[in-house]
């Protein structure tokens, strides 16, 4: 049931602190401060390359994970949407791990990619939310998300749970490759364990996000910008907005603006900038200022320090709790989900059942 919530989507957004905590329980040994896997003795030490394949929101979780696998495990990562992967001629060498990511575990293109990679001798890890699904059964390493049933067509809680699992997997791989000091492992466990409380902190901004939804609801086009792991979040924000509010939205890597899309900027195009304070902040802010210099109206999503430093000329700001960069993608997912939700409600669309979309896409 939807409980007190008007839509399943909102209920599922609000469940995130609990289901992320639930999911992390299978991947963190809090006492020992070690990361673990549901199959603890699964040997990752021979993995030399990772291929991540998924669709839609699950693909964006994979895109975030690419940064983690490279940073922690120093393993090269190949990343593709399933419908493209299957029909090119991907090189799959020995020592390759394919990671499929899917809420339903039934998405036809992702399943076809899994089967193709398996026939080429790749080990298969599957991050899935439905434990009885086809992908769950066919994987060598099942990595469940414990988000519970996701009813709203727009994926929300499955996404943050996927991120939690993928962060833990990246740390496990790093350890198996001898690239994780015990101190680093401890700090990863501690930061991941802070995610549920930080998600709660992010949810506290629901009302202020609702209050600014009208300024986005009137737009015909919206741009989302981010750098690093905030780039896939920009893509995810744009996907959420277009699928439930039917407003045209694009996500861009902030540094790509000047290579074309800045031509779109005028005062009718809201630009959502996702920029937690940190090493990439100044770069993103300078891209943001290029937008503002052309009359663009910016909604800045950052933390207190970021909003203090760069919020002045913005149309609006959304202040997230200050968090470690590892969990920022989980935390910053919340405001982009809430913004899409409130814009859709303001426009009066069918939030849980957007037109032309199915919860599980079982045709290629």
Per-residue binding string, ligand F6R, 146-165, x by CB under 6 A, is: --------xx----------
Strand 221-226 vs strand 123-128: parallel, antiparallel, or unpaired? unpaired
* Segment interacting with ligand F6R, rule: CB under 6 A, options 49-57, 116-124, 179-187, 255-263: 49-57
Distances (CA, A) of 345 to 348, 350, 354: 5, 8, 12
Does residue 23 touch ligand F6R according to CB under 6 A?
Answer: no
- The span from the CA of 332 to the CA of 202, in Å, is 8
| Residue 240-259 contact track with ligand F6R, rule CB under 6 A, x = bound | ---x----------------
145 lies in the site for ligand F6R, by CB under 6 A: no
Number of residues that bind ligand F6R (CB under 6 A): 15
Mask for 81-120, x = binds ligand F6R (CB under 6 A): ---------------------xxx--x--x----------
Residue 332 contacts residue 276 (beta carbons within 8 Å): yes
The active-site residue out of 2, 242, 347, 359 is 359
> Which residue, 62 or 321, is less far from ligand F6R as judged by CB?
62
Nearer to ligand F6R, 60 or 72 (CB): 60
Instruction: Determine whether 359 is an active site residue.
Output: yes
Two structure tokens written together for 171: 């740390």
Question: Whose Cβ is closer to ligand F6R: residue 95's or residue 131's?
Answer: 131
Residue-wise burial string across 243-267, b where 16 or more C-beta atoms lie within 10 A, e elsewhere: bbbebebbbbbbeebeeebbebbee
How distant, in Å, are the alpha carbons of 190, 237, 278, 310, 329 from that of 284? 28, 17, 10, 10, 16
Q: Which helix (H) or strand (E) holds 79?
A: strand 77-81
> Is residue 138 within 8 Å of residue 114, measured between CB atoms?
yes
Residue 54, beta-bridge partner list: 81, 101
Task: Check binding of 56 to ligand F6R (CB under 6 A).
Answer: yes
Whose Cβ is closer to ligand F6R: residue 104's or residue 122's? 104
The residues annotated with a catalytic role in the active site are 359
Residues that bind ligand F6R (CB under 6 A): 55-58, 102-104, 107, 110, 154-155, 239, 243, 360-361
């Amino acid at each position: 049931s939807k409980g007190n919530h008007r839509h399943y989507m909102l209920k599922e957004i609000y469940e995130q602190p609990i289901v992320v905590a639930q999911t992390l329980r299978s991947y963190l040994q809090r006492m020992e401060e070690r990361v673990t896997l549901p199959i603890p003795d699964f040997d990752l030490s021979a993995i030399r390359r990772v291929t991540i394949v998924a669709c839609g929101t699950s693909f964006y979780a994979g895109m975030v994970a690419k940064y983690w696998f490279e940073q922690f495990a120093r393993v090269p990562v190949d990343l593709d949407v399933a419908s493209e992967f299957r029909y090119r001629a991907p090189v799959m060498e020995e020592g390759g791990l394919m990671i499929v990511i899917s809420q339903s575990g039934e998405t036809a293109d992702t399943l076809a990619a899994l089967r193709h990679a398996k026939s080429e001798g790749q080990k298969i890890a599957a991050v899935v939310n439905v434990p009885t699904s086809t992908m769950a059964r066919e994987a060598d390493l099942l990595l469940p998300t414990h988000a519970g049933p996701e009813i709203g067509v727009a994926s929300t809680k499955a996404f943050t749970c996927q991120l939690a699992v993928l962060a833990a997997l990246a740390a496990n791989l790093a350890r198996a490759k001898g690239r994780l000091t015990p101190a680093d492992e401890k700090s990863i466990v501690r930061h991941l364990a802070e995610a549920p409380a930080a998600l709660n902190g992010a949810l506290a901004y629901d009302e202020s996000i609702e209050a600014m939804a009208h300024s986005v609801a009137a737009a015909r086009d919206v741009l989302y910008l981010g750098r690093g792991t905030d780039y896939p979040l920009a893509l995810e924000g744009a996907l959420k907005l277009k699928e439930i509010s039917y407003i045209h939205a694009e996500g861009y890597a902030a540094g790509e603006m000047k290579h074309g899309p800045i031509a779109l900027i005028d005062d009718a195009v809201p630009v959502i900038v996702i920029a937690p304070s940190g090493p990439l902040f100044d770069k993103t802010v300078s891209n943001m200022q290029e937008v503002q210099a052309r009359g663009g109206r910016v909604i800045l999503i950052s933390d207190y320090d970021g909003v203090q430093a760069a919020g002045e000329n913005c149309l609006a700001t959304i202040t997230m709790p200050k968090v470690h960069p590892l969990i920022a993608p989980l935390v910053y997912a919340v405001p982009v989900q809430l913004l899409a939700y409130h814009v859709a409600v303001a426009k009066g669309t069918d939030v849980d059942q957007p037109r032309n979309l199915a919860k599980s896409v079982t045709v290629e």
